[in-house]
């Protein structure tokens, strides 16, 4: 199987198995080069002017705070432990930096990838790095941390996001949990991701819209999925109350971190008698005491605020559990980490 075919295969798996659960869409055009519009400054490692830039896949969604479409021009990589190097990561980041700089200004890029280039939008880069032998997820994080910001030639105001194998594994597990919960009637098939009004940012889209999970949301300490009630198809009885699934990425090592989480849910006005809140902790190295710490946090929070009766029972009714981790079954063929020619 050729490298291009492998990349296309992984892109399809990402869209189907991970990002579709977060309401990311992708454009039909994949594995296509577009014209470089900065050949004077965009050079290959041998000093030659670049003629084109690669495009594996472009994901997109509406940011509910910015109220514009975010295009994630994505470079898909896969590696085995023996093939990973900081140089390869740095090369990939610099290539992606040049790519998105051109994409912002390229009529060829807009013609090939976008359905509608008239709406407000922003182009960012996404480096998606899978580890197909499952042996070196920590190696990627340590090598990425050693790459200095000054060694990446990214244009002003351009943004590159990086998803390494640890994050990919976590998001794969969360996506599988969401799909299974919807299939089993634990949440409604119509769900959306929650965006509270913040001090400096106000939500520009209605909360009842089917809002996507932005990449910032997916990389945050926790994010919240809101769902409607679930009815029995035969009797019409309520099987599950409406409510929230809270996906929590931290280890749950302290009572204090959970007090902060409970307080946040309360401030967002999500805690009430009519709805349920279920916390799902998805850190692989979570504390063995996370459930005990969570129960202590709820009790301490109620004691500090001197809640009584109904309000206390609403807080104490919040539950927590851990996700089962699943490994994405990516192509076993090594792709993408070639030295540029």
pLDDT digits (tens, 9 = 90+) for 268-323: 999 999 999 999 999 989 999 999 999 999 999 999 999 877 899 999 999 999 99
At residue 17, the pLDDT reads 84
At residue 338, the pLDDT reads 47
At residue 240, the pLDDT reads 95
Give the residue with greater pLDDT, 17 vs 198. Answer: 17
Q: Mean pLDDT throughout 69-82? A: 85
At residue 83, the pLDDT reads 72
The pTM of the whole model exceeds 0.85: yes
Choose among 272, 278, 262, 280: nearest CA to 313.
Answer: 272
- 135 pLDDT more than 50: yes
- Residues in a beta bridge with 52: 35
CA 168 and chain centroid, separation: 8
Which has the minimum average pLDDT: 3-17, 70-84, 148-162? 3-17
- 146 pLDDT more than 70: yes
Give the residue with greater pLDDT, 307 vs 249. Answer: 249
Q: What is the pLDDT of residues 93-128, one digit of tens each?
A: 999 999 999 999 999 999 999 999 889 999 999 999
Which has the minimum average pLDDT: 11-20, 92-101, 252-261? 11-20
Q: What is the pLDDT of residues 173-213, one digit of tens each?
A: 999 999 999 999 999 998 999 998 765 556 655 566 678 99
Give the residue with greater pLDDT, 205 vs 68. Answer: 68
Rounded to 5°, angle at Cα 324 from 298 and 333: 140
Per the prediction, the chain carries an average pLDDT of: 88
Four-residue CA torsion sign, 233, 239, 243, 244: negative
- 335 pLDDT more than 60: no
Burial profile 111-145: b = 16 or more Cβ within 10 angstroms, e = fewer: ebbbeeeeeebbbbbbbbbbbbeeebbebbeebbe
CB atoms near residue 6 (< 10 Å): 20
Q: What is the pLDDT of residues 150-184, one digit of tens each?
A: 899 999 999 999 999 889 889 999 999 999 999 99
Query: Helices 255-267 and 290-305 sit at what angle, rounded to 10 degrees?
Result: 60
Tokens representing 232? Answer: 């029995």
What φ, ψ does residue 235 adopt, rounded to 5°? Answer: -100, -20
- 7 pLDDT more than 60: no
Q: Distance (Å, rounded) from C-alpha 305 to C-alpha 289?
A: 24
pLDDT-derived band at 78, boundaries 50, 70, 90: confident
Q: Distance (Å, rounded) from C-alpha 226 to C-alpha 60?
A: 21
């Amino acid at each position: 199987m050729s490298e291009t075919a492998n990349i296309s295969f992984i892109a399809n798996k990402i869209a189907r198995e991970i990002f579709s659960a977060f309401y990311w869409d992708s454009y039909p055009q994949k594995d296509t080069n577009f014209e470089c519009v900065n050949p004077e400054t965009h050079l290959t490692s041998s000093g030659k002017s670049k003629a084109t830039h690669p495009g594996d896949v472009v994901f997109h969604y509406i940011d509910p705070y910015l109220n514009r479409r975010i295009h994630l021009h994505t470079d898909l990589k896969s590696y085995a432990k023996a093939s990973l190097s900081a140089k390869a990561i740095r090369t990939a980041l610099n290539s992606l930096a040049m790519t998105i700089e051109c994409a912002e200004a390229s009529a060829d890029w807009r013609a090939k990838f976008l359905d509608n280039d008239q709406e407000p939008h922003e182009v960012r880069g996404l480096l998606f790095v899978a580890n197909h032998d499952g042996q070196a997820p920590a190696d990627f994080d340590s090598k990425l941390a050693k790459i200095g910001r000054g060694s990446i030639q990214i244009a002003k105001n351009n943004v590159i996001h990086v998803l390494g194998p640890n994050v990919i594994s976590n998001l794969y597990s969360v996506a599988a949990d969401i799909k299974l919960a919807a299939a089993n009637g634990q949440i409604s098939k119509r769900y959306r991701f929650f965006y509270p009004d913040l001090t400096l940012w106000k939500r520009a889209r209605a909360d009842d819209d089917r809002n996507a999970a932005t990449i910032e949301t997916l990389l945050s300490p926790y994010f919240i999925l809101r769902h409607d009630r679930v009815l029995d198809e035969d009797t019409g009885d309520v099987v599950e109350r409406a409510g929230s699934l809270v996906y929590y990425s931290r280890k749950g090592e302290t009572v204090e971190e959970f007090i902060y989480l409970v307080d946040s849910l309360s401030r967002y006005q999500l805690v009430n008698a009519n709805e349920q809140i279920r916390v799902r902790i998805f850190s692989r190295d979570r504390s063995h005491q996370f459930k005990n710490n969570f129960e202590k946090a709820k009790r301490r929070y109620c004691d500090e605020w001197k809640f009584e009766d109904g309000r206390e029972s609403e807080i104490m009714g919040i539950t927590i559990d851990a996700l089962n981790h699943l490994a994405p079954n990516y192509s076993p063929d090594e792709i993408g980490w070639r030295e540029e020619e």
